[in-house]
């Protein structure tokens, strides 16, 4: 966009020497235009095994009934809704990155938004499978839509949070899909231009006749901004509504007004963790270190730290309110979380979500790739436990002690959840093969302004405040993709 150079004190968003537009296209499209390597095949093999397991377990459930799960008369939701909320939450990072960060002109999003949005789509698909899967009669799922029918007044219940969920999730999915696809258009056109034969025809159709004219680019920019505007409230609304499933109920431990902000923070927390989990691998395997740099990793870790802390405060607030409310059922629900038979789930949640992310206060940890990756996995685990704790430990002991029971998952419960991860990765790995995992067009915008080479040029030009230059050089130390030797000479 802007032709002027960015301030030297900002860290570069693209590293590497002599980066050209062609090089970016070549590097990003390498997995799309070439045969998959062994690592991809191994990953795809594992993931599709998981997806097959998912298919088997979900078919098993459909054939025999929900009774194949571990649910019972008291605990009516467990792994199903835990999985649903977990996946929806994960989806949130994509929208946040693509929409909110776009509106805030956070250019560093350009390198990661594509994968994050893809992740959103696939996570919401996984979440949607639970919406259908958890129903006793999934073949009647369309009844949750306000369709005209021969019964005249037979309508859906707008008071029900599940009803709002149907709309929240479907809106979210469609907007995310449109946003993602719109962003893909120039990149698909790039693939089209380089491809031949059938591939060319397919990508030609997929590119919607992208011509690359100035007018096209201008409309593209406008549509992106509009969609970002539409998506931004969704970042807040979707998980707010998901939290209504709990917050609007009577159940002690669910009936909490703090849920909307707490769920949104948790969703972003888990979403960034999942982005981190994926991209740390992708950048290595696909050789995208120059585009997804240490700066990106550190920025995301900072967001994880922030949202993790918000979540931690929410946990503590819940406890305080339970005590302050004076409601014995509420109080018991929270004491039971921490000390009851599912104490291990609660403390797993606390450890994974509140304690370990605090390690990100240390810059060394933030910029250490293996550490970041392990912590992102821990956050994912912790967020799964958070939903499990909220759902199962609230339900299993509520008002009447006579109904207190324990919940034990069956192999089908586990199979569907683990299988849904397989399903997710199957979709993600296929995505890597057919579409560019980094938004090439948007990254190219940064080459002239925010890349290491443009800043190097500035430095070499000598018109830079030496303090700033020193600061800049220091900031480069954390990068694993920057050759520092050239700066020492200078």
Cα distances from 197 to residues 185, 200, 211, 230, 257, in angstroms, run 19, 5, 19, 38, 58
For residue 155, state whether it binds another protein (rule: CB under 8 A).
Answer: yes
- How far apart are the C-alpha atoms of 274 and 119, rounded to whole Å? 8
Which of residues 27, 398, 413, 442 is near another protein by CB under 8 A?
A: 398
For residue 67, state whether it binds another protein (rule: CB under 8 A).
Answer: yes
Nearest distance, CB of residue 406 and another protein, angstroms: 8
Nearest distance, CB of residue 241 and another protein, angstroms: 12
For residue 490, state whether it binds another protein (rule: CB under 8 A).
Answer: no
Specify the length of the chain in residues: 490
- Give whichever of 37 and 59 is closer to another protein, judged by the CB atom: 59
For residue 149, state whether it binds another protein (rule: CB under 8 A).
Answer: no
Which stretch, 128-136, 193-201, 215-223, 354-362, contacts another protein (CB under 8 A)? 128-136
- Give whichever of 169 and 429 is closer to another protein, judged by the CB atom: 169
Kindly give the interhelix angle for 440-450 and 452-461, rounded to the nearest 10 degrees. 10
For residue 77, state whether it binds another protein (rule: CB under 8 A).
Answer: yes
Count of C-beta atoms within a 10 Å radius of residue 356: 18
- Give the x-and-dash track for 319-348 against another protein (CB under 8 A): ---------xx--x----------------
Nearest distance, CB of residue 60 and another protein, angstroms: 13
- How far apart are the C-alpha atoms of 387 and 54, rounded to whole Å? 20
- How far apart are the C-alpha atoms of 379 and 304, rounded to whole Å? 9
Cα dihedral across residues 380, 385, 386, 391: positive or negative: positive
For residue 64, state whether it binds another protein (rule: CB under 8 A).
Answer: yes
Residue with tokens 């008369």: 73
CA Rg value for the chain: 24
Which of residues 399, 456, 464, 468 is near another protein by CB under 8 A?
A: 399
Which of residues 9, 46, 55, 66 is near another protein by CB under 8 A?
A: 66
- How far apart are the C-alpha atoms of 222 and 102, rounded to whole Å? 12
For residue 135, state whether it binds another protein (rule: CB under 8 A).
Answer: yes
Which of residues 7, 154, 226, 470 is near another protein by CB under 8 A?
A: 154
- How far apart are the C-alpha atoms of 45 and 49, rounded to whole Å? 6
β-bridge partners, 267: none
DSSP class per residue in 406-425: -----HHHHHHHHHHHHHHH
Nearest distance, CB of residue 328 and another protein, angstroms: 7
For residue 162, state whether it binds another protein (rule: CB under 8 A).
Answer: yes
- How far apart are the C-alpha atoms of 201 and 487, rounded to whole Å? 47
150 Rama sector, left if φ>0, alpha if ψ -120 to 50, beta otherwise: alpha
For residue 147, state whether it binds another protein (rule: CB under 8 A).
Answer: no
Which of residues 125, 163, 202, 313 is near another protein by CB under 8 A?
A: 163
Which of residues 141, 205, 226, 484 is near another protein by CB under 8 A?
A: 141
Buried b (16+ CB within 10 A) or exposed e, 209-222: ebeeeeebeeebee
DSSP state letter for 5 = P
β-bridge partners, 14: 451
Kindly give the interhelix angle for 259-285 and 109-133, rounded to the nearest 10 degrees. 120
If binding means CB under 8 A, how many residues of this protein chain bind another protein? 50
- Give whichever of 161 and 258 is closer to another protein, judged by the CB atom: 161
- Give whichever of 29 and 58 is closer to another protein, judged by the CB atom: 58
- Give the x-and-dash track for 228-257 against another protein (CB under 8 A): -----------------x--xxxx------
Nearest distance, CB of residue 52 and another protein, angstroms: 25
Nearest distance, CB of residue 11 and another protein, angstroms: 48
- Give the x-and-dash track for 27-46 against another protein (CB under 8 A): --------------------
Which residue ranges make up the site for another protein (CB under 8 A)?
64-67, 70-74, 76-77, 134-138, 140-141, 143-144, 154-157, 159-163, 165-166, 245, 248-251, 328-329, 332, 395, 397-406
């Amino acid at each position: 966009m802007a032709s002027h150079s960015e301030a030297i004190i900002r860290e570069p968003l693209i590293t590497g020497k002599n980066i050209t537009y062609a090089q970016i296209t070549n590097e990003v499209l390498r997995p799309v235009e070439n045969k998959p390597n062994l690592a991809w095949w191994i990953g795809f093999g594992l993931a599709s095994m998981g997806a097959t397991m998912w298919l088997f377990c979900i078919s098993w459930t459909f054939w025999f009934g929900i009774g194949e799960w571990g649910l019972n008369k008291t605990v009516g939701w467990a792994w199903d809704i835990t999985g649903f909320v977990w996946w929806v939450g994960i989806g949130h990072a994509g929208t946040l990155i693509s929409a909110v960060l776009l509106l805030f002109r956070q250019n560093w999003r350009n390198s990661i938004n594509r994968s994050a949005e893809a992740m959103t789509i696939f996570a919401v698909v996984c979440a949607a499978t639970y919406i259908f899967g958890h129903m006793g009669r999934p073949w009647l799922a369309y009844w949750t839509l306000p369709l005209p029918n021969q019964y005249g007044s037979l309508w859906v219940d707008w008071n029900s949070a599940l009803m709002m969920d149907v709309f929240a999730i479907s809106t979210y999915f469609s907007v995310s899909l449109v946003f993602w696809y719109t962003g893909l258009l120039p990149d698909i056109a790039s693939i089209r231009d380089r491809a031949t034969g059938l591939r060319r025809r397919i990508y030609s159709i997929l590119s919607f006749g992208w011509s690359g004219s100035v007018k096209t680019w201008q409309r593209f920019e406008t549509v992106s901004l509009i969609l970002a505007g539409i998506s931004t409230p969704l970042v807040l609304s979707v998980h707010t509504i998901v939290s209504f499933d709990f917050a609007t109920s009577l159940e002690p431990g669910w009936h909490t007004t703090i849920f909307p902000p707490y769920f949104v923070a948790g969703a972003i927390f888990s979403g960034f963790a999942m982005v981190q989990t994926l991209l740390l691998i992708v950048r290595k395997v696909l050789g995208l270190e120059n585009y997804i740099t240490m700066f990106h990793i550190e920025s995301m870790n900072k967001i994880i730290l922030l949202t993790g802390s918000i979540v931690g405060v929410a946990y503590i607030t819940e406890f305080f309110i339970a005590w302050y409310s004076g409601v014995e059922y509420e109080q018991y629900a929270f004491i039971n979380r921490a000390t009851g038979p599912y104490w291990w789930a609660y403390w797993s949640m606390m450890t994974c979500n509140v304690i370990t992310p605090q390690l990100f206060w240390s810059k060394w940890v933030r910029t250490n790739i293996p550490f970041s990756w392990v912590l992102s996995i821990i956050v994912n685990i912790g967020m799964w436990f958070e939903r499990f704790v909220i759902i199962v430990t609230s339900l299993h002991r509520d008002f009447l002690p006579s109904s207190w029971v324990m919940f034990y998952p069956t192999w089908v419960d586990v199979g569907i959840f683990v299988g849904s991860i397989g399903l997710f990765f199957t979709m993600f790995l296929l995505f890597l093969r057919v579409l560019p995992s980094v938004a090439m067009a948007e990254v190219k915008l940064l080459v002239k302004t925010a890349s290491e080479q443009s800043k190097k040029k500035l430095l070499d030009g000598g018109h830079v405040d030496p303090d700033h230059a020193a600061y800049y050089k220091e900031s480069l130390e954390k990068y694993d993709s920057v050759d520092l030797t050239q700066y020492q000479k200078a």
